Amino acid sequence: MNIIQFAAGLEYEIGNRMQRWVQPLALLALRCFVAWQFLKAGLLKVQDWALTLSLFREEYQVPLLPPELAALLGSGGELILPLFLIAGLFCRPAACGLLMVNLMAVISYPVLWTFDCPAAIRDHFYWGGILLLLVVVGAGRLSMDVYFKSLTSRSN
């Protein structure tokens, strides 16, 4: 065995171990991080509902929906979907839902696209990237999805 074969085998084994042990922890951390961002926003909206409605009527330009319905759907999504994401329950649909909430925030608040808010738009792109990763990869082993799947496969 030459040095290249040895190095390739070692790299493969290290990658397998990382995928087995580090990946589930990393996915859990990403789920909790991005969920917390949306949960904070949802909690802020329900703390002062009159202000939230005012912002949706005057500041945000949500297409196709009346401001009251947009506020209700947006706040509901920001409060409910992160809980599913943290638990890893229906992770892919929850991540898709939050991806839509994120996209709608970027579309409906044009101030984000000005030079006054470069960090804010960057945050939305980061969150969108994490959510897209969760849609593609799933919640990982440390999730209720995997737990329930193991229960159903045991019963078969």
pLDDT digits (tens, 9 = 90+) for 79-92: 999 999 999 999 99
Share of residues in the chain with pLDDT > 70 (%): 97
Q: In this model, does residue 136 exceed pLDDT 80?
A: yes
Q: Which residue has the tokens 């949802």?
A: 42
Helix axes 118-137, 3-47, angle to 10 degrees: 120
Tell me, what amino acid is at 62?
V
Q: What is the mean pLDDT of the chain?
A: 91
> What is the pLDDT, as a whole number, of residue 1?
67
Q: How confident is the model at residue 3 (pLDDT cuts 50, 70, 90)?
A: confident
Q: In this model, does residue 25 exceed pLDDT 90?
A: yes
- Domain residue ranges of the chain, discontinuous segments joined by +: 3-155
What mean pLDDT comes out for the span 115-142?
90
CA-CA distance, 93 to 88, in Å (whole number)? 10
Number of other CB atoms surrounding residue 101 within 10 Å: 23
| 106 touches 126 (CB < 8 A) | no
> What is the pLDDT, as a whole number, of residue 156?
64
> What is the pLDDT, as a whole number, of residue 62?
87
Q: Cite the DSSP H helix spans in 60-143.
A: 67-87, 91-108, 118-137
